[in-house]
Amino acid sequence: MRGFAKGLVLADKQIKALQAASSGFFKGASNLLKQPQPRVYHLVEGKAEPQGAEQALGQGTDFGKLDALGADLFGNLESDVLAPIEQWTFAWNAVQTRMKQLETMRLEVDSRRRVISGLQGKTTKQRASLDRAPSERRRGKYEQQIEATWRKTQHKEAKLAVAIDRYQKFEEELSEELAGLIRDAACLKSYFSGCMELCREAHRSAGNALNAGIKTPYPVKKIKSPAEQKAAKAKAKEEAKKKKKAPSTDTSKTSVGSDSSSVPPPAPPQAAAQAKNAKGSGKSSVRSANDLYGDDIEMPSPA
């Protein structure tokens, strides 16, 4: 429990450092973005003249929103994260103080028990002396001592009973407080989660404030998570397998082992008829050629 409390105190300091750093970051970013952008200077007629119009670095930035985000983050961390953690720490310190009180009460109970034990031992010795008394006068003296010791023992035992009762009640109360602290410690995780969510939301809103006055803000590339990347790779593999298994639809390719150059294409019907007529007389062959190609082209006579 003490180790856990020390770790929580350290975390409280770290969150406070994050709170101060975030607030300073927003203020510093706002001050920087309000500054004019550096410009190039050219020497014109012996004078350095700036080129281009003067404009702020954070042109289009909503500075009011940016400044408010820093203040809101500081306040939200203080009320929603640091306050519950400090309440737990305060309760733990109170329990430690009460534990010291309980230890003091325990020592008191032990002391009273030792006193009573000593009185009981004294009574035993007095009774033994009473039994060995040689005269009645001695016996009367020992009886008075035994009675005084008994009265004192009764008084001390009554005080011991009160001390024990007070100690037991205090112990029960402290035990309940410790049990409550242990139950509350399980909820501290939600405060750390809230701290991270508050910072994330503040920085996301700050990014939007930077582009509040720009119609086409700077594009932000979305980073895929490892699960999305794995799913995309699996989908690409499935598509590649489907492409390999799909049959080819190109009819221009010939089958394996066939030689398209060895098979001549079939002759047209008109050419086949002319070749048949060419086997006749030369005159008919020439006439057929003139009919086919015209009078301006002279075909050689058959041998």
pLDDT recorded at residue 252: 45
- Residues 58, 196, single domain; the answer is yes
Q: Looking at 180, 215, 250, which one is the last position of a domain?
A: 215
Residue 286: pLDDT over 70: no
The partner residues of 47 in beta bridges, in order of sequence, read 44
Residue 30: closest CA among 5, 56, 9:
56
- Residues 201, 278, single domain; the answer is no
Residue 303: pLDDT over 50: no
Q: Looking at 215, 242, 263, which one is the last position of a domain?
A: 215
Question: Is 84 part of any domain?
Answer: yes
Q: Looking at 177, 192, 215, which one is the last position of a domain?
A: 215
Domain span including residue 293 = 271-303
- Residues 132, 15, single domain; the answer is yes
Question: Is 191 part of any domain?
Answer: yes
Residue 58: pLDDT over 50: yes
- pTM (two decimals): 0.55
- Residues 12, 97, single domain; the answer is yes
Q: How many domains does the chain have?
A: 2
- Residues 288, 211, single domain; the answer is no
- Residues 87, 175, single domain; the answer is yes
Q: What is the dihedral of CA 171, 176, 177, 180, to 10 degrees?
A: 160
> Quick one: which H or E segment has residue 43?
strand 41-44
165-204 residue pLDDT tens: 999 999 999 999 999 988 888 888 888 898 999 999 988 8
How, if at all, do strands 47-50 and 41-44 pair? antiparallel
- Residues 177, 282, single domain; the answer is no
- Residues 86, 181, single domain; the answer is yes
Q: How confident is the model at residue 259 (pLDDT cuts 50, 70, 90)?
A: very low
Q: Which residues contact 198 (CB under 8 A, 6 or more apart)?
A: 73, 76, 77, 80, 81
Question: Is 157 part of any domain?
Answer: yes
Give the separation between CA 147 and CA 258, rounded to whole angstroms. Answer: 135
pLDDT recorded at residue 222: 56
Which CATH number fits the domain that encloses residue 88? 1.10.287
112-121 residue pLDDT tens: 999 999 988 9
- Residues 165, 292, single domain; the answer is no
Higher pLDDT, 4 or 247: 4
- Residues 194, 294, single domain; the answer is no
Average pLDDT over residues 80-86: 90
Question: Is 223 part of any domain?
Answer: no
Question: Is 194 part of any domain?
Answer: yes
- Residues 199, 295, single domain; the answer is no
